[in-house]
Structure formats: C-alpha cells, structure tokens
Structure 1
Amino acid sequence: MDYIGENLLPGQVGHLLIVLSFVASIVATLSYFMSVRTAQLKGQGGVLAFANPESTAWKKLARYAFITQFLSIVTIFGLLFYMVFNHMFEYHYVWKHSSRSLEVKYLLACIWEGQEGSTLLWTFWHAVLGLVIMRRGKDWEAPVMTVISFTQVLLAAMVLGIYIFGYRIGINPFILLRDSGVLDNAPALHINFDVTQPLKSDFMLSIKDGNDLNPLLQNYWMVIHPPVLFLGFASTLLPFAFALSGLWLKKNDQWINASLPWTLFSVAIFGIGIMMGAAWAYESLNFGGYWAWDPVENASLVPWLILVAGLHTLLIYKHSGYSLRATYIFFLLGFIFVWYSTFLTKSGILGETSVHAFTDTGLNVQLFLCIYVFIWLAPVAAAKTFNEKVLIGLAGAVLGIASYYLSVPGLPMFAILAGVITMVVYINKQVPTVKKEEDVSSREFWMFIGSLVFFLSALVITVITSLPVFNSLFKLNQAQPENVEFLYNQIHVLVAVVIAVLTAVSQYLKYKHTPRAFLLKKLGIPTLIAAVFATLVLAFGNINYIKEGMGFLVQIWIAVAASIYAIVANAAYIWVGIKGNMKMSGGSIAHVGFGMVLLGILLSSGKKEILSYNTSGIHIDFGKDSTQKSGENLTLVKGVPMQMGGYDVTFMGDSVHPKKPLTFFKVDFKNKATGEEFRLTPNSFINYKNNEGLMSNPSSRHYLTHDVFTYISAMADPEKNKDTARFVDYVRGIGDTIFYSKGYILIENVVAADNLPLAKAAKEDSAILATLNIHAQTGSRYTTDLLLLKDARGNVRSNQDTLMAESLVMELRNWQNGKATIAMKESNSVLDWITLKAYKFPFINILWAGIIVTAIGLFISMFYRIGQNRRNKLKKVE
C-alpha cells in the first residue's frame, strides 16, 4: 500500500549508506590488516616492509574504503538533519525526538538525543580522527587504522537494524513510524486514530506533531556538550590503538612518542567535555550544583581518570624506562571503560538511578559483546605465536558463548575478569621492565604513586556505580549506600590531598634520584608562600561546611591548603624549574589549572551557603522520597517581599512559553546592604512528556567572587490551579453578616470618603469605604477595607481584595439605600506562589577558570610534543 504523506527516498538512501559504511569498515579493517601482515612477511630482522608494493596496494584499498565510510557517515548526518528540519514524522526517529515547536539549534540536537544518533556522532569523530592518522600516521598508519576500522565495524553494526537468524543487529534510525510499533499505543501518545482498525493509507494526516525533544535537554548546552564529549570518547581510541599496535607488532616502546600528543589531546578534550556537562548541570538542572555523583557522570569520569594515570606513566617511561607495563594497562582499560560507560548509559540498567540514562532498547548483548571483544583483543595481540593467538581467541569465544547461553549468575563477569587477567599476564610476559627498584626520591616514583591513586579512585567509583550491574549479573538485591554522595566526597577529599601535594612536589624532583639539598633549595620558597596563602584563606575564608561533622571539615581544610600548594608550586616551577620557557611549560600550567579546579570545588562546596531558609511559615510537603527539606526552601507569595539571606526577595509574576507548558518566574532581589537590585528568572514545568513531576531550570546571578544560584523546588500545578469559582452578590447593611464555608464576615461600617490619598485619584473623586471583619473557624480575625470609587464624570470602579489565608476574594460593587452589595467568591486558586531553593556558591569562578587553564596547559604540551617528534625525525634523516 502507498501511504499518503510519506517520503520514503531519504530513508532508503540513509539505510543504504548505513550498510555501505558497515561494509566499507569491514573492507578497511581487512585491507589494513593485510597491509600489516604483508609488511611483516616481507620484512627482515623485525623491520616491517610497509614500502613493498603488495603492502602499499592493500593500504591504498584500505584508504579508499575508509574514506567511503567517512563520506557515508557525513551524508547520513545530513539526511537526518534534513528529515528533522522538514518534520518528516513518518520516520520514527524524527517523530520520537523532535517537534514543530523546536528552534533550529535544537533540531540539530535532536540527532544525538537518541541512541542511534549518539552512536553515529561517536562514529563520525572516529572517522575524523582516522583521516588525521591516515595523513600523519606514517609507519603506524596501517596497524592503528586496523584497530580504528575494526571499531567502526562494531559501531556501524549498532545502527544496522537488520535481523540475522531472528536476532536484531543494531537499531536503524531510518525505520518508519508505522514499522516501529509505536502506533500500537496511539491513544496513549495522543495520536488520533483507531488502533483497532487496519492502518489506513492516510494515517499520516493524524500525525500533527512529533514527540518533542526531552524538555530538560532544550538548552544550548545540548547543542555543544554532546559533540565535545563524544570527541573525548572517540579520542581515547588513539592511545588504545597505539598500545594495541605495539603489542601486535612486538614494538613495545616505539609507539610511545607517536601516541603522546594524542594522549594529551584526549585528556584535554575529554576533560573539557565532562566539565561542559558540569556547567550544563549547574545552569540547567536542579541538582543544586554542578556535580551530583550521578552514575552516568561517574561513568564518563572513570575512563578520564584512567587515561590521566596512563599519561603520567607514559611520561615516566619516556624519561626513565619504568612503568611501560602500567602504561599499556591504563591505555587499554581507558578505552574499554569508555565502552563500559556506554553500556551503563544505553543498556537501561541505570534507568532508576540516573537522570541521564537511556531506557533499554535491546542492545545490551551487543554492547556487552563489544566490551568483551576489546578486552580479549589485547591478549590475542600480545601472544607471540599463531597457536597461542588461536588458543586465547578460542578460550575467549567459549567463555563468551557460555555467558550468553548459560543462565549462570556472575558468569559474564567472570568471562570479563578472565579476559582482563589474561591481558595483564600477556602484557607482563611480552613487555620488558627495568629490574632495578625506583629511588624513593625520584620523580618517577611519586608520579607512579599519583597515577595509582587516580586508578584506584576510578575503581572505587566504578564499584559503587556498578551496583545495579552486579545486582543484575549475580541476582543480588544490594542497595546503594544510604548517603552515597558523602561517601564519594569523603574518599575524594583525601584523593585531592594526595594528588595536590604530589602535583606540587613531583615536578621539583629529578628522574632517577633527587638530592635532598637540591629539593629544599628549589621548593623552599614556594612552600613558604603557599603556607602563607593557605593560612590566610583558612583564617579569613570562613570555610565552615559542618554538615558532615568536624572531622570532614578538617579534611576539607587540609585539601584547601594542598590545592593552594599545588597552584603556587607549579606556577613557581615555570621560572624556578624551566626558566620561563613557555614552550615547555604546558605540564606546569596544566597542574596550576588542576589545582585551581580542586580549590574551586572545595571553596564553592565547602563554603556553599543555603540562602532560602524558610521564614514564610508556609511549609511544603515534598514527600518522603524527596531529598528536599522544607526548612531549606522558601515559599514566596506573589507581590509579598520576603527576607532571604541578605536580600529582600519578591515573586513578581510569571510568563509562559508561547509554544510549551513552560513557565518563567520573575523573582526580584534587593541587596539590603548595598541596595543593588536584580531579577532572576528560573523556569519550571510539569514534565509534559511523561508526567514525571516537576522539572526545573535554574537561574543565577554571577559575580567575580560568588554566584547566587536559584531554582524552583515547588509550584502550583497550572492545570489544577485554574480559578473556576464565580462571584456571588450579597446585599447587606451595617452590622449584617455574610457566612462562608470557613467562617463569617461582619459588615462593621460603610462611610463616604473624599480627597482620596490614592494613586490615579483626582481631588474631586469620591468613594465609599466598607470595613469588614472576617471571623475564621480557626479563631483568626482579619479586617479589610473595600473601596468603591466614583470620579467626577460618574464612572464607577471598585477594587478586589484577596484574603489568601481564607481563600476569599471580595469586592464592593454598590452602596444604595443603606445597603452594600458585596461580591464574594471562595477559590483555592487565589494564592499565587512558588517555592524557591537558593544557594550562594562562593569562588566558583576559580573552578571554571581552572578548567580553561588546565586545557591550555595540555594543548601547549601537545604542540610541544608534536614539534619534538618532528625535530627527532629530522635528526634521524640527517
């Protein structure tokens, strides 16, 4: 049947390109592999003959295939944007992630909101990095590109969407809406047609709009954060590919120089991507800050920590010959943990513990298989003989198949651990090590300790975050720790102390051995300066985070002092150690930035001040499962100034988004000490996609030394708060009574008034003033004056008075023959209110500046290492 309104050509072309990219990746993988294999067979004395005609021919074919794959991915992206931009809701992916009300920038973000789009984004960055390797990789091109191309095969399979022997391989982003199964649940999705009848050819006329982008993601950070973060994910493949190539070609250390710039790039861009997410959370989520130890946040942080550990062990080996085995392990595990974080995010296993996680779409086995394959690749590559490689591959395959077909609790985890152990054993077997023990006074010794601390931190985070995985694999019911945030903080404050001190001291140490006199001479003055600064900050900085007790506060004080030490010592090293040579200063600058990040985190969190303590007397019940405390949230009634910290705060009103049920609240602040006035506009909404309750986006006032950070923690439901009550007229004389549901009203007096001291009232205007006494059932007494104004031309107007405590709205409409006509209504919607949570984040700009400084330092180091590699090649040629 031909369906009216469907444009099938973009989807058909898109699916063809997905298949083409998959096939092209396979061809590129096999061709690059054959190029390496031919070079091995034609080479002599361990030297690979990449220049022989056969190897060159294979490499040429591989390049054509890889470029074909790259062009396919770019075109797929173009097609997806074309479909989203033109609202082609006949395609399930377009309908699910977009709507007609979205701005153009968010239409672009729709592409990577879903699993298929984010996978394509990851694939795109791998392809871009692969093109750079093709141009700059020289003798490492073929082995490294073999690994990259193979990774592209696995990623392309994630979006194939085909069935083999009844098993679905991947999810196709070009599947039609009518083929997705969504229409079976049309009424629940507000799609207007009868699901009991066969699908009609004109069913698309009922699809007026799409399902929309997740409301929490409709922020400019959604446009820039995912691309940067996925570039960070993709970049970890390069250190992994170089390390795996070193094992494969038995060139245990020759890959070090080539991989160092890529490692620096990966650490920098991956770190920026993570912290962009923190900035997004700070500006757009009601975490109450920039980091919440959310499981998906943790899953991104872990591979970065491991990669940082690998970067430092690589530098250790480059200068001293130690820690090559550790470098292999860290680089291999760093990329594997990127896949593990992808599994945690996309499998749906964290759906109940993370606001970031996707729901399960049936890719669990495929994702798990990718992790498994990459783990077992390393021991296969490291094995020296063909028979060993076959045996290891068979062992891995048997364990993998058994894990899939045998319902044995914990067997998949055992298979992974077996692969990791086998990988470590074969790395130790193949990779040589220096037998001599490291001197405790050497730089390499303490750099390794720092790397180990980073790695252990990553393992702790992984174990706690992976409790849902352990529960699933081992059929357990283990709950997370009661105060998991404090557990993370308690551990990582100590980690911060160790890393900050090592960062301060280690650069002043020499490789191999450092004389004590030399260290004291170089480090003495920076230590003294840091001690003075730390003393001043601790003495006058009022760091008083006592929420978790005095013991934890002392840990914070120590960490603050250590962070200041790291900043001062590394800044001083630029002149003391490298004589102001800025080309070589990248490491010191990066360490200064890292110290600033630690200090910014400690100050902004350790001095974080709650401003919104409840002074209104109106308490909101957030529910037993909520983390909100009524006493830390201030309820503001419209137009009524309230005191909050050092501010007078007034809820002035709201405005509604023209196309979405999104309300912006206008909250005016006045600093009582300085008189400064400003307005914040936090917005909030009842999640209209899945009715999960209140969603809020914060609003902040930024200063050089602090931020005032606010978000809506409760508000009246606009649908339930509509005023449907009607006025009823009561004709009463002085002394008469009007009864209402919660008490009665006594007409105390009615008098004429002239020369009214009112705005917009002329001298010749006159008025009738009725004084009412309200007697509530609770025993409370209220008095109100109702005004009926008459101007010189005979025009009459009256004012409404609202008694919010009794839900009454009253108005004087007439006074004639000794009788007053009073209109009154009782309404539960007369109270216009919001509940606000507000913090003061001191010195948070130190954190954001530290991120920038760290990235600058890493990029300086990267360019320096690139130049150093070029200089070394020129020397060899000469």
Structure 2
Amino acid sequence: MQFIGEHLLPGELGHFFAILSFAASLVAMIAYIQSTRTENPEEKNSWRRLARAAFITDIVAVFVVIGTLYFLISSHYYEYFYVWSHSSNEMQRRFLLAGFWESSEGSFLLWTFWNCVLGLVLMRMSGKWEAPVMSVLSFAQLCLASMIVGIYFSSAKFGTNPFILMRQFEAGAPIFSDPHYLQSPVMQDGRGLNPLLQNYWMVIHPPVLFLGFASTIVPFAYAIAALWQREYKEWIKPALPWALFSAAVLGTGIMMGAAWAYESLTFGGFWAWDPVENASMVPWLVMICGIHTLLAYKSTGHSGRITFAFFILAFLLILYSTFLTRSGILGDTSVHSFTDLGMNTQLALFLFVFVIPSLLLFIVRYKDIPSIKAEEAVDSREFWMFVGALILFLSAVYVIAFTSIPVYDKLFNKKTAPPEDVLYAYNKVMILVLIVIALLTGITQYLKYKKTATGFRKLLLPSVIALAVAALVLGFGHFDYLKYGQGYLIAIYVAVASAVFAVVANLSYIWVAYKGKLKNAGASVAHIGFGLMLLGILISTSKKTVISQNTSGIVIPGLTDAKGKPEDPTENLTLVKNLDFRLANYRVTYTGDSAGGPKDAKVYYRLHFTSPNEDFAIYPDAFINPKGQEGILANPASKHYLDRDVFVYLTSLPNRSSTDDTSTFRDHALKPGDTLFYSKGLMILNRIVHGTDGREGIDAGLGDSVFTADITVHAMDSSLYRARPVLVVQNGRLAYYPDTVMSQSLILRFAGATAKGITLGTRESASVMDFVTIKAYVFPYINLLWLGTMVMAAGLVMSVVRRVRRG
C-alpha cells in the first residue's frame, strides 16, 4: 500500500547515516588498535590515517543524524514515532531541543555528539597517546552507535531506530489501513513534552551533563592506555587536565540539574537523594578522588595503583548509571528514569564490555604499577590527600549501594523495604563525610609533599579567624533544626564551622602562598567554592521554614506532596480570590490567572505580595495531570533576595468545570444573637470573643487587639457549621482573617466593629469558589550554594588552563 503525504526521505537518510556511524566507528576502533599494536612507524602512521578518516566519517554521520532528527521534530512530521512522542504543535520552539533529548535515543545522540567533539580535540592534542586513547573512545562510539542503529539480527533487536514510522511502531492498528491516515485528526498533533520539562534548564542542563558524562572517558582512556602500553608515569601529565575538565563540567551539570529541580519540582529543595541524582553524583565523587591521588602520584609516586582504579571506576560508574536510568529498573523509585525500551540486555552488554576487559587489565598489570613500599609521613600532603580520597570513595560506595537496592531486588527476587526516612539515611552519613572533607581541604594545602618541616604553625591564624567567623554565623544564625535530635544538630554546627574553616583557610593560603595572585591558585579557589556550597546546603536546608501556615481556616482534603505523601493541612494556605491573607511578613492575595500563551499549556496564577517595604507579584503555574490521575502538576515560583528565596508552589486548584465566580462581599450590621439569612440557610452570631477563640494561624503580636466572631451556620439540609472570622488591629491597621464554609460556598469576613456589634461581610458563590492552595518556604542564603558551584567550577577550570599552559 502506498501511503499519501509521508516524508520518507529524511528518515531513510537519517537511518542510513546511523548505520554509517556504526560502521565508521568500528573501522576507526580496529585501525587505532592496529596502530597501537604495530611497531613499524610507517605501518603505524598508515593505520592512524585510516583511523582518522574513519572517525571523521563517523563525526559527519553523527552530525547528519542529529540534524535530520531535529529537522523532523521542528517540521512536526508526526508520521515518525519519535516526533509524535516528543513534540506537539503547542510546543514553543525553544523547547524543541528538550524534546529532542527527552528520550533515550536523543540522549545517546547527545552523548555521541560530545564524544565526536572530544575525539577531534584528542586527535589534535594527544600526540603519541592518540592511537591507544582513541582506540578506547572509538570503542565507546561503537557501543553508543549500536544503541540507535535500529536493526534486527533474526529476532534480536539491535538498538532502537529514532526514525521509525508510526505505522511501523503500531503495526496492525486500524488507522494504518487507510493510505490517507495522515489526514486523520489523530495524526494532526503529537503527544508533546512533559510540561514539567518545559523549562529553560532542560535546554541547557542535559548538554552540559552529557558533556560531563562523555568527558569521563578521557581519563579512563589514558589510564587504560598506560596499562596497555606499560607506561605508568608518562600518562599523568596529559591525563590530569582532562580529569580536572571532566570534574568541572560534570559537577556543573549535576548542579544545573539541582537548579532545575529547585525551580521546577515541588519537593521543596534542590536535592532529594533520588536514585538518578545519586547515579550521576557518584562518578563525580570518584573522579574527585582520582584527581587528588593523581596529584600525589605525580609528586611522590604514592597512590599510583589506586589512581588507576579511581579513573577506571569513575567511567564504569557512568555506564552503570546509564544502565540504571535507561533500563526502567528505577521506574518505581525515581521520577527521572527513562522508560524501558526493551534494550536491557544490550545496556547490560554495554556495561560489561567495558567492565570485564578494563578490570582484567588492571588486575593483570597491578603488580607492575610502581609502588613505594615506605608509608607516607603523617605530616605529608599526600597522606592526607589519600585519607580524604578514601573517605570520599567510601561515601560514594555507601550512596551507590543504597541506590542499587532495586537492582539487588531484581537479581535475587527480593523486596527490600526502604528506610522509613530516606533523606536521613543519606544525610546522617554524608554530613560526617563532609565535615572531614571540609577540614582536609583547609588543612592539606598548608602541608608539603613527603614531609612538612614547619608543622601546622601556618594554620594557626586562619584557624582563629575561622573559629571567630563560625561563632558569629552560629551565634546569630539561630540554628534549631531538631527534627533528628540533638546529635544531628551538633553535627550541623560542626559542619558549618568546618565549611567556614575551608573558606577562610584557602583564602589565607592564596594570600600567603600565591601573594594574592589567582592564576596559580585554582585548587584553592575550587576548595573555597566547595566550602561555600557546603555552607549554602547547610544553612538553606537546616533553616528552611514553611511560612504558609493555614490562616484561612480552609482545609482541602487529600493534598499530597511531589512524592505522593500526605501534606500537612496546617502548612497549606488556601487563598480565596481577591482576599488577602497573612503569609509570614507579607499580605498575599490571589488576584487571578492567565494562560501561558498559544504554545504554553500551563496556567499562571498571580499572587500579589505586599509588606511595609515592598510590593511584588510572583506567578507559580500548574495544570491538571494530563495522564488523567488525580492531582495537579505544578512548577514553583520564587522571589529572589540576596540573603533568601521565598519559594511558592500550588498544591490544589478548584474545579473549573462550572461557571466563574463573580460574587462580591455584602456587609451586614449584626449584634450577638442576630440571625442573617443566606441562599442555602441562615447563620447566627453567637458572641464576639476577645482573642482567637482557639483558631490557629493568626499572626498577632502582644500589642495587637484580636477579635473573633463566633458564628453558627444552619444549612437547609440541617447541617451545622462553625465559622470564626477574625479581625486583628495592628498599629491602627485592620487585618482580616476570613473563614469559609466550603460545602456552602460561603465566605465570612469580620469587616469591622459598630457601637452595638460588628460588621460582617458575606460572600456567596453560585459555583465552587475560585481559590488556590499554596505551600511556601523561605530558603535562607541558598545563593551561597549557587555561588559556591560557580566558584568551584571556576577553580577547576583555572587548574585546567594552568596545566595546559605548562604543557
């Protein structure tokens, strides 16, 4: 059957070049291996020329595949399954890239793209190491190309083809029996991108993260090449800048993901110890271990064997994280994992074709790696660098072991119960690790390799300054985080002091050792960034405060957080439209909503904040879950200050199926005992109470006058309800705390006092009233976290530049 309107040529072209990429990377790998093995210079150069030609062919093929797939997405050719699954007519053009790498095929292409770029640089810069290093990278390219080649050997599927047509993917569906199926309404639009991913961070975060993933292969390749060629010292100089570069980019990519989570997800933070977050962080920790032991190995000869192990494990853990996130095995424990594409066997093979040869080579060459039998001196830099690396590595093992519980359960058919508090299970260990690491980043800089003749005297002044600064921070910071008891609070105090020490000690070292010149102080700058990050984490999380206490008296049943756990109703404030409510030091009013635009499916809700010193609006957005499940999907909004963020997201919305509410308040003069009728019954003012009458969430000081109207509402169905609107007089200003009888769509406001009674404002709605329910936090000094991330990355880049300039 000939189908009308299909654009087949781009897909056929893209698939051809995907197969060409696989073939070219295979040729490049074989040629580079032959160039490495042969001793004849002329033959070596001949194989290298062939390998370069093949790798450049691979690069061209990858670029064509990427360009073709993006062309299909941007052209909205919905006859292709990938286009239909990850784009729609309503998607803004800036999010088309996010749709491109939303799925496994696109992310593999992104990874392959960065391997191409890294390969070009290595061909130009790696000199005599080109052949063995590029052999490893070409093998990785071959494995990645196999993931998107999309061909079958007998009944075995080999990769997934991003250019497969809808009628091929859903073969047998009735719609495809019509040659004009593309004219069907079903084919006029795609499924689109998850609205939570329609965020600018999802355009810039994945490319940086995948450059970090891809770059870990270069130190790994140098380590393998050194073991392969038995050159155990010569690889250090070229490998070190690449390791620093990888740590900088991967760390930045991870923290970009944290920033996306902070701005787009509603768990109220930037890190949730999600398995996918952990799987990306663990290789970075191991890479940091490898950098420090490589520096010790370079200067003293100590820690050579463990350095090889660290760089090998860092890349293998990247592959393991790829298996975890794309196999679907974390589907029940992570909100980030990809859908199972039926490629678990191939993903496992991808992992083991690197694990087995690399570890076997390391074991075989282990005894040949130079090792100094004499132990390091306790007052030497290399000793404490090794201690720090070992502690950091053990923490990585702890995190990946916890993260791998689903794998263990799958392999052994178990059902391991997770800890009651997953966050605490990680935090109670990691806070101790970070204390030690923070102290070592301050101390180790002052030590010399092999032996420190002057002892620790130079540390005296920065230690005194750090203690003084830490005392000020802790004294005026009012740290009272007692959720996990006094012992954990003490650990927070010590961690804050350790982070301050790391910053002060490294600032001092820049002044003492480098005379204030930063160009050679990359390590100290990176350590300062780490200390600032740690301070930002500790302060913002331990002093995070919920400010959305329920002052409206309206309780929405069934509220759940981002992980499906029940929300505390006292921490969720329901805002009735055009009524102002107290929110910490602000008065906040929900004034309305607006659609995002013709290509933005989200609805933005305007929350107007006022205080004696400022007036602003923020716009959290939300939408009903498109999968038909109960609840909403929400994106937070924040007001950023230098010293804090006010962070707000929506937890409940009204049913908009009925007509909009246009009613207004009507004022009535009442005295105790009076009856007032409304459309569904009557209400009686029982008494006027001086005080809150037991109602919670009223913000009143010692000098304020508080009055509560005690009202009984009698509905026509014989139901009785109690309402307690509150009036607070604060320095001559009136603050209203209305009360609502939700089932009657009735809002009561204590609007003022008269000579004989009160003025009661009533508002009825012919439909369900217009409201939003919000949860709001204050994150103190969270900007220290983002500043520290940038400073640490800058320090690592400075170290890269310095190493490259030194040849």
Which TM-score tier does this pair reach, normalised by the shorter chain? 0.7 to 0.9
Deviates more, 1:104-113 or 1:855-864: 104-113
Alignment check: 8 A CA contact 1:622 1:630 kept? no
3-state SS of the aligned residue for 1:584? coil
1:618 alignment partner in structure 2? 554
Tell me how far apart the structure 2 counterparts of residues 172 and 21 of structure 1 sit (CA, whole Å).
Answer: 13
- Following superposition of structure 1 onto structure 2, how do residues 3-18 of structure 1 map, counting pairs within 5 Å? 3-18=3-18
Say yes or no: does 1:71 pair with 2:49. no
Alignment check: 8 A CA contact 2:654 2:771 kept? yes
1:94 alignment partner in structure 2? 83
Say yes or no: does 1:305 pair with 2:285. yes
Residue 608 of structure 1: which of 544, 547, 563 is its match? 544
Task: Go from structure 1 to structure 2 and tell me whether the alpha carbon gap of 1:867 and 1:627 turns closer, same or farther (over 3 Å shift).
Answer: farther
2:358 alignment partner in structure 1? 378
Tell me how far apart the structure 2 counterparts of residues 577 and 839 of structure 1 sit (CA, whole Å).
Answer: 43
Deviation at 1:255, TM superposition (A): 0.5
Deviation at 1:738, TM superposition (A): 8.7
1:647 alignment partner in structure 2? 586
Say yes or no: does 1:554 pair with 2:490. yes
Residue 180 of structure 2: which of 202, 210, 213 is its match? 202
1:589 alignment partner in structure 2? 525
Alignment check: 8 A CA contact 1:122 1:234 kept? yes
Tell me how far apart the structure 2 counterparts of residues 737 and 667 of structure 1 sit (CA, whole Å).
Answer: 32
Deviation by residue 1:563-614 (Cα, 9 ceiling, x = unmatched): 0000000011012123334222000000001110001100111111111122
Say yes or no: does 1:56 pair with 2:36. no
1:397 alignment partner in structure 2? none
Deviation at 1:544, TM superposition (A): 1.8
Deviation at 1:691, TM superposition (A): 3.9
2:139 alignment partner in structure 1? 150
Alignment check: 8 A CA contact 1:685 1:694 kept? yes
3-state SS of the aligned residue for 1:620? coil
Tell me how far apart the structure 1 counterparts of residues 655 and 397 of structure 2 sit (CA, whole Å).
Answer: 43
Q: Share of identical aligned residues, percent?
A: 49
2:602 alignment partner in structure 1? 662
2:237 alignment partner in structure 1? 257
Deviation at 1:229, TM superposition (A): 0.3
Task: Go from structure 1 to structure 2 and tell me whether the alpha carbon gap of 1:780 and 1:19 turns closer, same or farther (over 3 Å shift).
Answer: closer
1:28 alignment partner in structure 2? 28
Tell me how far apart the structure 1 counterparts of residues 346 and 767 of structure 2 sit (CA, whole Å).
Answer: 53
Alignment check: 8 A CA contact 1:464 1:480 kept? no
Residue 380 of structure 2: which of 431, 434, 442 is its match? 442
TM-score, normalising length: structure 1 = 0.80
Deviation by residue 1:774-810 (Cα, 9 ceiling, x = unmatched): 74344459999xxxxxxxxxxxxxxxxx986622699
Task: Go from structure 1 to structure 2 and tell me whether the alpha carbon gap of 1:24 and 1:805 turns closer, same or farther (over 3 Å shift).
Answer: same
Tell me how far apart the structure 1 counterparts of residues 302 and 747 of structure 2 sit (CA, whole Å).
Answer: 81
Unmatched 5+ residue regions in structure 2?
664-673, 685-711, 726-739, 749-761
Deviation by residue 1:92-146 (Cα, 9 ceiling, x = unmatched): 0000000011111111221111110100000010110000000001000000000
Alignment check: 8 A CA contact 1:228 1:270 kept? yes
2:781 alignment partner in structure 1? 843
Residue 855 of structure 1: which of 784, 793, 798 is its match? 793
Deviation at 1:722, TM superposition (A): 5.0
- Following superposition of structure 1 onto structure 2, how do residues 423-438 of structure 1 map, counting pairs within 5 Å? 423=362, 425-438=363-376
- Following superposition of structure 1 onto structure 2, how do residues 543-582 of structure 1 map, counting pairs within 5 Å? 543-582=479-518
Task: Go from structure 1 to structure 2 and tell me whether the alpha carbon gap of 1:570 and 1:231 turns closer, same or farther (over 3 Å shift).
Answer: same
3-state SS of the aligned residue for 2:607? strand
Task: Go from structure 1 to structure 2 and tell me whether the alpha carbon gap of 1:780 and 1:714 turns closer, same or farther (over 3 Å shift).
Answer: closer
Alignment check: 8 A CA contact 2:661 2:768 kept? no
Letter in 2 for 1:199: S
1:282 alignment partner in structure 2? 262
Residue 676 of structure 1: which of 600, 604, 614 is its match? 614
Alignment check: 8 A CA contact 2:550 2:573 kept? yes
Task: Go from structure 1 to structure 2 and tell me whether the alpha carbon gap of 1:716 and 1:451 turns closer, same or farther (over 3 Å shift).
Answer: same
1:537 alignment partner in structure 2? 473
3-state SS of the aligned residue for 1:53? helix
Alignment check: 8 A CA contact 1:622 1:629 kept? no
Tell me how far apart the structure 2 counterparts of residues 465 and 343 of structure 1 sit (CA, whole Å).
Answer: 13
Task: Go from structure 1 to structure 2 and tell me whether the alpha carbon gap of 1:543 and 1:84 turns closer, same or farther (over 3 Å shift).
Answer: same
- Following superposition of structure 1 onto structure 2, how do residues 351-370 of structure 1 map, counting pairs within 5 Å? 351-370=331-350
TM-score, normalising length: structure 2 = 0.87
Letter in 2 for 1:370: F
3-state SS of the aligned residue for 1:840? strand
Letter in 2 for 1:333: L
3-state SS of the aligned residue for 1:712? strand
Deviation by residue 1:214-242 (Cα, 9 ceiling, x = unmatched): 11100111110000000000000001000
Say yes or no: does 1:630 pair with 2:608. no
How many residue pairs align between the two structures? 735
Tell me how far apart the structure 1 counterparts of residues 223 and 49 of structure 2 sit (CA, whole Å).
Answer: 24
Deviation at 1:164, TM superposition (A): 0.9
Deviation by residue 1:757-780 (Cα, 9 ceiling, x = unmatched): xxxxxxxxxxxxxxxx97434445
Residue 121 of structure 2: which of 127, 132, 150 is its match? 132
Computed over aligned residues only, the root mean square deviation of the Cα atoms, in angstroms, reads 2.6
Say yes or no: does 1:19 pair with 2:22. no
Task: Go from structure 1 to structure 2 and tell me whether the alpha carbon gap of 1:675 and 1:35 turns closer, same or farther (over 3 Å shift).
Answer: same
2:427 alignment partner in structure 1? 489
Tell me how far apart the structure 2 counterparts of residues 57 and 120 of structure 1 sit (CA, whole Å).
Answer: 30
Task: Go from structure 1 to structure 2 and tell me whether the alpha carbon gap of 1:61 and 1:524 turns closer, same or farther (over 3 Å shift).
Answer: same
2:402 alignment partner in structure 1? 464
Say yes or no: does 1:268 pair with 2:248. yes
Alignment check: 8 A CA contact 1:522 1:576 kept? no
Residue 707 of structure 1: which of 639, 645, 670 is its match? 645
Tell me how far apart the structure 2 counterparts of residues 723 and 667 of structure 1 sit (CA, whole Å).
Answer: 18
3-state SS of the aligned residue for 2:38? helix
2:390 alignment partner in structure 1? 452
Alignment check: 8 A CA contact 1:545 1:608 kept? no
Task: Go from structure 1 to structure 2 and tell me whether the alpha carbon gap of 1:548 and 1:10 turns closer, same or farther (over 3 Å shift).
Answer: same
Alignment check: 8 A CA contact 1:231 1:269 kept? yes
Deviation by residue 1:389-435 (Cα, 9 ceiling, x = unmatched): xxxxxxxxxxxxxxxxxxxxxxxxxxxxxxxxxx4x33433312110
Task: Go from structure 1 to structure 2 and tell me whether the alpha carbon gap of 1:274 and 1:66 turns closer, same or farther (over 3 Å shift).
Answer: same
Deviates more, 1:346-355 or 1:56-65: 346-355
Say yes or no: does 1:474 pair with 2:412. yes
3-state SS of the aligned residue for 1:829? coil
2:668 alignment partner in structure 1? none
Alignment check: 8 A CA contact 2:167 2:176 kept? no
Tell me how far apart the structure 2 counterparts of residues 359 and 682 of structure 1 sit (CA, whole Å).
Answer: 28
Alignment check: 8 A CA contact 2:660 2:770 kept? no
Deviation at 1:692, TM superposition (A): 6.4
Tell me how far apart the structure 2 counterparts of residues 804 and 693 of structure 1 sit (CA, whole Å).
Answer: 19
Letter in 2 for 1:465: T
2:307 alignment partner in structure 1? 327
Letter in 2 for 1:441: D
Say yes or no: does 1:687 pair with 2:687. no
Task: Go from structure 1 to structure 2 and tell me whether the alpha carbon gap of 1:805 and 1:647 turns closer, same or farther (over 3 Å shift).
Answer: farther
Larger-gyration structure (1/2): 1
3-state SS of the aligned residue for 1:213? coil
3-state SS of the aligned residue for 2:519? helix
Alignment check: 8 A CA contact 2:713 2:720 kept? no
Tell me how far apart the structure 2 counterparts of residues 577 and 623 of structure 1 sit (CA, whole Å).
Answer: 57
2:153 alignment partner in structure 1? 164
Tell me how far apart the structure 2 counterparts of residues 712 and 160 of structure 1 sit (CA, whole Å).
Answer: 43
Tell me how far apart the structure 2 counterparts of residues 832 and 311 of structure 1 sit (CA, whole Å).
Answer: 57
Deviation at 1:688, TM superposition (A): 1.5
Alignment check: 8 A CA contact 2:554 2:742 kept? no
Deviation at 1:687, TM superposition (A): 2.1
Tell me how far apart the structure 1 counterparts of residues 567 and 305 of structure 2 sit (CA, whole Å).
Answer: 48
Letter in 2 for 1:666: R
